[in-house]
Each structure stands twice: as structure tokens, then as C-alpha cells.
Structure 1
Amino acid sequence: MKSDFLIKLVRARMPFGQYKGRYITQLPVHYLEWFNRKGFPKGQLGQYLATMYEIKTNGLDQILRPIIQQFRNRNE
């Protein structure tokens, strides 16, 4: 995993669907579970969603908090 992957993850937004515009880190677990069942999209978005699925389903959300505080654009 590249060292800047988590920084890019916390800045990424959902580009389509019901949660369009929301940060990937803000997606509800049931939505990530749906993608896990149906298949994650290809490419970087799929990697972000699969990573967020693993983080949330394993109760590891807290590992992202310092990254979000430091690297998410504050004027959004």
C-alpha cells in the first residue's frame, strides 16, 4: 500500500448513487456491505470502498480520525 493511500481515502467522495458527494469515510456500513456482496467497482474507487468496508466492519474507524483531522480540507 502506498504511504499516501489513507490520505487520499479520507479526501475521496462518492461520485455516484444515493450517497453521491459524501466522503467515503462517511458511508454507512450497510452500503459498504452491499458493495461487498455485489462487487466493488474496479479501480481506485473500488479500492477505497473495499478498504473502508474492512475498516468499518472490523471496528477500526478510530485509526482514520487523526488522518481526517490533519489532511481533510478544513473549508469544506
Structure 2
Amino acid sequence: MKPEDLQRLVTVTMPYGKYQDRLIADLPGAYLAWFARKGFPPDDLGNLLALMLELDHNGLKPLLEPLRKR
């Protein structure tokens, strides 16, 4: 993980699927868990989804709130 990845969670949107155009930080935990079971995409998007799953699973989503205000 790079420090700028946290900022990207609140600026990058999901490019496809059921939650297309929703911020990665706003994706439901169940959707992130589904990706974990099925396999994350093998690119930068996959890395962001995996990071968001970790934050969500560990109750750390509030850490992103200050980044949203930038």
C-alpha cells in the first residue's frame, strides 16, 4: 500500500458492475467480501478493493472521513 492509496479510495469510482460510479470507499462490505471470495481484479482496482475490504472489515472506515473533505 502507498499512502496515496487512501486518498484514491475517496476519489476513484467503481468502473463497472452493480455499483458502477460509486466511490470505492462507499462500496458495501458484502460486495467487497464477494470480490475477496471470487478474486479481486489483477490490477490497481483490485488493490484498492482489497485495501477497502481490510478497512471495512477492521472498522477503520472513519479514518477516510478527513480525506473526503480535501
Q: Distance in 1 between matches of 2:5 and 2:33?
A: 21
CA RMSD of aligned residues (A): 0.9
Which TM-score applies when normalising by structure 1? 0.86
* Residue 68 of structure 1, CA deviation: 1.2
> Structure 2: which 5+ residue stretches go unaligned?
none
Secondary structure at 2:31 match in 1: helix
Alignment TM-score, normalising by the size of structure 2: 0.93
- Equivalent AA in structure 2 for residue 50 of structure 1: A
Alpha-carbon separation, structure 2, partners of 1:58 and 1:26: 15
Segments of 4+ moved more than 3 angstroms: none
Match of 2:44 in 1: 44
Aligned length: 70
